[in-house]
Amino acid sequence: MAFSEFQLLQVLAHEMNMRKAAERLFVSQPALSQRLQNMEKDWGTKIFLRSQKGLSLTPAGELIVKLAEEVLQKEESVREKIHALESEVHGTLKIACASIVGQNWLPKVLKRFVETYPHAKISLITGWSSEILKAIYDNEVHIGIIRGTPDWKGKKHHLFEDPLFLVDREIQSIEDVMKTDRPFIQFKSDSNYFQEIQEWWLKHFQTTPKRTIVVDQIETCKQMTLNGIGYAILPAITLTGMEQDIFKIPLKDEMGGFIHRDTWLLGYESAFQLRQVGAFLKVVDDFLIENR
């Protein structure tokens, strides 16, 4: 049966009167009678018995009307859910994020996101910025958060600048770096970040560090620095709460400007049209404004 026929049967079962049902349905009584006859023909059985007192349901009619009411109830439920989808944020937000941002900045934003949009789900992968770009290219995620200057032709959203500091328990100025025998602790990263540090170092010292220690993770590098093993160059995003007993010397270029790493959010235009992505961007913008 067509959906309108379910509605017709519901009205007939409620009114139990052809004239009243025709008035409610805004059709003529003969037209309603004809449609009922067609339905009974389709079902191969009588649905209503007609008498001078009105209509009465046959046993088969009770089953058919029950089906009609169940279908209409399900239709109403689906419409309510569709309305909820349009008025609330549902679905899974798929993010690929540079590890350093995923460890130090993103958790605060995601906490606010899940509190604001409890029906949304989150899928998160972390890695180097080069890995994040690949995940976006391969459509594994909706958006990526990377460090550095992205070679990206799609939509991108600048998040924040992250100044770099030379961090140590003993060194108090850049000039002291070449006077110490303490090791320069470096962490493995994508080539872009490593290149920036190398270029800054050579411009200031015209020679390589006296001693170096290379570790796999930035967190290991930070902990070794905190424990006085050597000095490191770390981004400000990792230094929150580390001010006590630690010297932080900002890195500057030839013009006196601060050396920093940019953090970007990017993705394809189609992904930015998704409700969960738009909602996440709203949370991000609000968070950045509040924490300027």
In the chain, what are the domains? 3-87 (1.10.10.10), 92-160+262-290 (3.40.190.10), 162-260 (3.40.190.290)
Q: Say what the pLDDT of residue 17 is.
A: 94
- C-alpha 196: how far from chain center: 30
Q: Say what the pLDDT of residue 242 is.
A: 60
List of the chain residues with pLDDT < 50: none
Interhelix angle for 3-15 vs 29-43, to 10°?
Answer: 110
Q: What is the mean pLDDT of the chain?
A: 89
Q: Say what the pLDDT of residue 85 is.
A: 67
Would you state the torsion angle of the CA atoms of residues 52, 55, 61, 67, taken in this order, to the nearest 10 degrees? 170
Token pair of 7 as six digits? 């509605």
Q: Say what the pLDDT of residue 80 is.
A: 65
Strand partners, 13: none
Q: Say what the pLDDT of residue 243 is.
A: 61
Residue type, 228: G
Cβ atoms of 262 and 148 within 8 Å: the answer is yes
Q: b/e per residue, 215-230, with b = 16+ CB within 10 A?
A: beebeebbebbeeebb
Cβ atoms of 10 and 72 within 8 Å: the answer is yes
